Copies of this chain bind each other. A is one copy, B any other.
């Protein structure tokens, strides 16, 4: 597995086996967040800026930006949101939209090398978005489903992933700039959804040599104890080789799991971050959550 490198104007983040586990903060997204949605419709980016700050403070290395409010000019909104976030934090960005125009606008506003969320294996979508990704020298998340639907067969998903990587190469995007999303389904609906995801990740890591990126929150939809399920899903993916997830870094259990994973893999040198966070937690028990 090679490294995927993203950049803001001042900061570089690499995703790979010898790097700290990378969390892409998922909070800047109006889905299910009525206040954020209303503010975005008003071109008020104060909550976006705060979400950006909080997520970076909580350890997110990359920030996802989704401004799909369902009306108005999404491309313009995306460009403004990107500016707002860039003026607040130095994390590289992940431009998240179903609209090619919004992705184009977001990438144009980005200073550095961003990630695009996402293409699927559908041929029309690939041929629409990959030229935009290539033009901006960005990296892209490829979701392992296509016209035929979302298969539970790791073999079928693997073939879709391979199709995305091959098509990206045809547009001049190297495999290290494609991150495959195994598309983790809700375990309460699709039995063994986590296991299917783990099997896909292992095959992709072993055979395609691409990085993978899992959206973990999906897996717990409709079930109680979501933080525990999400944190366990994250560690499962990591054991399978994933070095990057899309998640909510403001979730305490998830955050401590990421820190623990960095200790276990050696990415947290001399356990320095782990020991410091535990000292902080002991000193400020009311503000710093304990694991």
Which residue of B is nearest A196, CB measured? B266
Question: Given B238, B260, B265, which contacts A225 in the complex, CB threshold below 8 Å?
Answer: B260
Question: A275 contacts which chain B residues (CB < 8 A)?
Answer: 223-224
Which residue of B is nearest A277, CB measured? B225
Asked if A261 and B240 make an inter-chain contact with CB atoms under 8 angstroms apart, the answer reads no
* Chain A contacts with B in 242-272, Cβ cutoff 8 A: 256-257, 260-261, 263-267, 269-271
Q: Which of A88-96, A116-124, A153-161, A187-195 makes up part of the contact surface?
A: A187-195
State whether A257 and B239 are in contact (beta carbons under 8 Å apart), knowing that A191-B266, A191-B269 are contacts in the complex: no
Question: Given B228, B264, B271, B278, which contacts A260 in the complex, CB threshold below 8 Å?
Answer: B228
State whether A266 and B228 are in contact (beta carbons under 8 Å apart), knowing that A235-B235, A236-B238 are contacts in the complex: no
Distance to closest chain B CB from A272 (angstroms): 11
Is A237 an interface residue when CB atoms closer than 8 A count as contact? Answer: yes
Is A232 an interface residue when CB atoms closer than 8 A count as contact? Answer: yes
Which residue of B is nearest A225, CB measured? B291
State whether A260 and B229 are in contact (beta carbons under 8 Å apart), knowing that A235-B236, A239-B240, A266-B191 are contacts in the complex: yes
Question: A234 contacts which chain B residues (CB < 8 A)?
Answer: 235
Question: A271 contacts which chain B residues (CB < 8 A)?
Answer: 187-188, 223
Is A274 an interface residue when CB atoms closer than 8 A count as contact? Answer: yes
Question: A269 contacts which chain B residues (CB < 8 A)?
Answer: 191
Give Cα A257 to B232, complex, Å. 6
- A160-190: CB near B (< 8 Å → 1, else 0) gives 0000000000000000000000000001100
Is A227 an interface residue when CB atoms closer than 8 A count as contact? Answer: yes
Give Cα A278 to B229, complex, Å. 12
Which residue of B is nearest A261, CB measured? B232
Question: A198 contacts which chain B residues (CB < 8 A)?
Answer: 239, 265
Asked if B266 and A227 make an inter-chain contact with CB atoms under 8 angstroms apart, the answer reads no
Question: A227 contacts which chain B residues (CB < 8 A)?
Answer: 291
Question: A82 contacts which chain B residues (CB < 8 A)?
Answer: none
Question: A264 contacts which chain B residues (CB < 8 A)?
Answer: 187, 192-195, 219, 229, 232-233, 236
Distance to closest chain B CB from A280 (angstroms): 11
Asked if A291 and B238 make an inter-chain contact with CB atoms under 8 angstroms apart, the answer reads no
Question: A237 contacts which chain B residues (CB < 8 A)?
Answer: 239
Question: A238 contacts which chain B residues (CB < 8 A)?
Answer: 235-236, 239
Question: A257 contacts which chain B residues (CB < 8 A)?
Answer: 228, 232
Can you list 21 A-B contacts (CB < 8 A)?
A187-B264, A192-B264, A192-B265, A194-B263, A195-B264, A195-B266, A198-B265, A219-B264, A223-B274, A225-B274, A225-B278, A227-B291, A228-B256, A229-B263, A229-B264, A232-B260, A232-B264, A234-B235, A235-B236, A236-B261, A237-B239
